[in-house]
Structure 1
Amino acid sequence: MDSNRETMVADRTLDCSDLDNYLGKPLQPARMKEPLHNNDFRRWVQAMHYPNLLHYDHDFAKEGRYGRLVAPQSFAVATDDGHGAGPACVGRVPGSHLIFGGDEWWFYGPRIFGGDMIHNEKIPFDYVVKETKFAGPTCFQRGDNNYYNQDGDLIAKQRSTGIRYRNDLAVEMGSMDATEDPEWTDQALAELEERKLEFINMMHDLGHGKRYWEDVSIGDALPVRVFGPHSIASITTEWRAYLFTLWGDTHRPVIDFEALGFDPAMAGHENDGVMERINPELTDGAYFGPSRGHLFPRWARYIGMPRPYGYGASMGAWILDYLAGWAGEYGQVVHVNSAYRGPAFTGDATFMTATVIDKMVDEQGRHVVQIDCKMADQLGKTMATAKGEIELPTRK
């Protein structure tokens, strides 16, 4: 360990004082360069393990509510230039790295279709510093993303939580030490594939039908949703489904990760519009910079993770897709608040369960059910928790 790093570890502080200069001040908005295409939706649901015919099968969608393919509600985050992290990663925090801590979503009705142009207005919201077992002093920073279409309709609001921490302290504390992928027998993999059909068959059985509010009872359990085992290949597929990972796809913001205090080894040129025109591979965080810990074991360990891992924004999408797939095409997720407790590591599988905990008619006259959701790995370790509200059609 070099002397500078020894000094930092010795003082065990996290300087977040610069963040106060940014709260409540709008950032450069994220803007796409070209209209969305149906293949963007297909690529997204494929990457998110979400085989809902409404979002990728032309013939099925044509017979449904919208008469054409429609993006899943989770797709809004794919239209940002940094999967919602921008307003939750402003201000300088020396010697830091960032992972996702959670997302809260509100949806306002409009859906996203091929041909739409989406832009995102970003505003830093707040932050708090807490002591954690993972990395000692840890900053939980929140920022708002407001997604609009070309007509100015507000589609959704995402309040994203960035966890900014000292990766040197995370390595020193060593809270995650399972560095090898678990082994799955052929029989266990076959059983996993069989279990995946429970949620998939539920969507097929509902088809274009309606899940009526009156037919849902408090205590009802949703079908278990299963996917994985996760791998570097599947995590890479996730990354490529975010539109900003394509060369020239968005109007790039000006981001200097080293100026944000990122460890120099993890800074790089991700999302750098100037470098994109010189050597675009250097702007791809999957290869260089802040995001490469997801795909390379060496860099995962460098930031305090035992092995490669999936994206927090994808976990948020998995939750939204789970609730929306159960609700059907005539239902809509109107609000969900998710907390991410641990990522999807390579070799692990993900199991999602949920229960109806309340029913109500809200102040807007909508018939709503409230869902409690949990995401865990094959050992039962909690990866995420969420509570969501879903508007359902009513027989009345």
Structure 2
Amino acid sequence: MNDRTLDTSDLDNYMGKPLQPGRMKEPLHNNDFRRWAQAMHYPNLLHYDTEFSAEGRFGKLVAPQSFAVCTDDGHGATPACVGRIPGSHLIFGGDEWWFFGPRIFAGDMIVNERIPFDYVVKETKFAGPTCFQRGDNNYYNQAGELVARQRSTGIRYRKDLAVEMGSLTQTEDPVWTPEQLTELHDRKFAWIESLHDLGHGKRFWDDIDISDTLPERVFGPHTIASFTTEWRAYLFTIWGGTHRVNPDFEAMGFDPAMAGHENDGVMERIDPELTDGAYFGPSRGHLFPEWARYIGMPRGYGYGASMGAWIIDYLAGWAGEWGQVVHSNAFYRGPAFTGDITIQNATVIDKLIDDEGRSVVQVDCKMTNQLGTTLATAIAEIELPRRSSGGPLGDGAKESGE
């Protein structure tokens, strides 16, 4: 390997070929949804409060739409990280989601069918030659219904080039004064109030205009503790929680110091602590600043799959329980770092009846930090009920809308 080579020759052996599916070991529980909503900073009563949800559309707790990725054994990254790239590491580059209608409830068993899709190598300022690899995750419930499809993008790069080319000067967390934290809390609560204000009500498609803006959402500052809470909400991080795929990260070209036994079912029965990516292996850069710098990051940083969940939760919370996100295509520009806050805004850019007869609004969503740095962008379509009949959401709105 010369100074600027990224060898992707092995990847063609995997494209389009199904991998071992992701499978849970036990049915889902309401507490899985509560833990997820809490970890993703999503205080929507529909997903954690029994009394509130019992009075709503579903009559019981329902998982957030973003929860589908929680049922996988690897953040949805597995089909976007196949084949050997010597000397490489991986971060998330984005997620495209399609939702097909069925919701996830306690007692469900979800299976993820995984198929590598494609890849391309591009030159980046971050790490020189960089591989953008995509893979599909198809989430089915026990009835065989397709709940959602996630097309993940893995960014695979030379660790040594990222360290050489990256800026590691901003290694310290920003400091927030008590006054600033009080102001942040007020901004956070304004968005929470918007969820309470909608309650079990319906946000009608008829009432939405192009150029309408969604309420600002703010959360953070992020910390090692908050990122750890996110990690623990993923079911695959629990010992014995999923059927393991036993990946060989060194064989995939990962730097040996970042390989380890994450998701190794054999080692899980011998010394499970070694299988926990938060402590050892490819995921520990998120929670240990020295390992973050080892792979070219200045300090602890958040999970790409969580960024995808933040986007879906933000849009689904605005839509309310009578609406749903039907499609979202998100591109991640950079991670959330410890000490930073995350700010979400979105604008309605189109309004239409789609080919399936659904009443849809299209939104342009942007995620930034306190410095105005863009963390992610997304274009998404959200189905909303109509005052007139037309489709399941429209009929529901007609029956009880005022």
Q: Which runs of structure 2 are paired with 1:141-290 in the superposition (5 Å)?
A: 141-290=133-282
- In the alignment, the residues of structure 1 paired with residue 137 and residue 191 of structure 2 have an alpha-carbon distance, to the nearest angstrom, of 30
- In the alignment, the residues of structure 2 paired with residue 285 and residue 220 of structure 1 have an alpha-carbon distance, to the nearest angstrom, of 42
Query: Could you tell me whether the CA contact under 8 Å between 1:133 and 1:175 is conserved in 2?
Result: no
- In the alignment, the residues of structure 2 paired with residue 185 and residue 156 of structure 1 have an alpha-carbon distance, to the nearest angstrom, of 42
- In the alignment, the residues of structure 2 paired with residue 56 and residue 259 of structure 1 have an alpha-carbon distance, to the nearest angstrom, of 41
Q: What letter corresponds to residue 159 of structure 2 in structure 1?
A: N
Q: Which runs of structure 2 are paired with 1:350-365 in the superposition (5 Å)?
A: 350-365=342-357
Q: 1:97 aligns with which of 89, 94, 98?
A: 89
Q: 1:51 aligns with which of 43, 51, 63?
A: 43
Query: Could you tell me whether the CA contact under 8 Å between 1:16 and 1:93 is conserved in 2?
Result: yes
RMSD between superposed Cα atoms in Å: 0.6
Cα deviation, residue 176, structure 1 = 4.5
How many residues are matched?
Answer: 388
1:69 aligns with 2:61: yes
- In the alignment, the residues of structure 2 paired with residue 320 and residue 366 of structure 1 have an alpha-carbon distance, to the nearest angstrom, of 19
Cα deviation, residue 175, structure 1 = 3.2
Unaligned runs of 5+ in 1: 1-7
Cα deviation, residue 250, structure 1 = 0.4
Query: Could you tell me whether the CA contact under 8 Å between 1:99 and 1:312 is conserved in 2?
Result: yes
Unaligned runs of 5+ in 2: 389-402
Query: Could you tell me whether the CA contact under 8 Å between 1:146 and 1:157 is conserved in 2?
Result: yes
Q: Which runs of structure 2 are paired with 1:360-375 in the superposition (5 Å)?
A: 360-375=352-367
Query: 2:285 aligns to what?
Result: 293
Query: 1:382 aligns to what?
Result: 374
Q: Percent identity?
A: 79
- In the alignment, the residues of structure 1 paired with residue 167 and residue 332 of structure 2 have an alpha-carbon distance, to the nearest angstrom, of 16
Query: Could you tell me whether the CA contact under 8 Å between 2:115 and 2:136 is conserved in 1?
Result: yes
- In the alignment, the residues of structure 1 paired with residue 19 and residue 132 of structure 2 have an alpha-carbon distance, to the nearest angstrom, of 19
- In the alignment, the residues of structure 1 paired with residue 243 and residue 232 of structure 2 have an alpha-carbon distance, to the nearest angstrom, of 17
- In the alignment, the residues of structure 1 paired with residue 345 and residue 337 of structure 2 have an alpha-carbon distance, to the nearest angstrom, of 19
Q: 2:308 aligns with which of 302, 316, 324?
A: 316
Q: 3-state SS of the aligned residue for 1:17?
A: coil
- In the alignment, the residues of structure 2 paired with residue 65 and residue 320 of structure 1 have an alpha-carbon distance, to the nearest angstrom, of 19
Q: Deviations over 1:332-368 (max 9, x none)?
A: 0000000000001000000000000000000000000
Q: What letter corresponds to residue 91 of structure 2 in structure 1?
A: I
Cα deviation, residue 266, structure 1 = 0.2
Query: 2:399 aligns to what?
Result: none
TM-score between the two structures when normalised by the length of structure 1:
0.97
Q: Deviations over 1:219-269 (max 9, x none)?
A: 000000000000000000000000000000000012000000000000000
- In the alignment, the residues of structure 1 paired with residue 163 and residue 339 of structure 2 have an alpha-carbon distance, to the nearest angstrom, of 21
Q: Deviations over 1:19-72 (max 9, x none)?
A: 000000000000100000000000000000000000000000000000000000
Query: 1:5 aligns to what?
Result: none
Cα deviation, residue 11, structure 1 = 1.9
Query: Could you tell me whether the CA contact under 8 Å between 2:167 and 2:298 is conserved in 1?
Result: no
Q: 3-state SS of the aligned residue for 1:394?
A: coil
Query: 1:139 aligns to what?
Result: 131
Q: What letter corresponds to residue 148 of structure 1 in structure 2?
A: Y
Query: Could you tell me whether the CA contact under 8 Å between 1:107 and 1:333 is conserved in 2?
Result: yes
Query: Could you tell me whether the CA contact under 8 Å between 2:24 and 2:242 is conserved in 1?
Result: yes
Q: 3-state SS of the aligned residue for 1:11?
A: coil
Query: 1:4 aligns to what?
Result: none
Q: 3-state SS of the aligned residue for 2:285?
A: helix
TM-score between the two structures when normalised by the length of structure 2:
0.96
Q: 2:340 aligns with which of 313, 334, 348?
A: 348
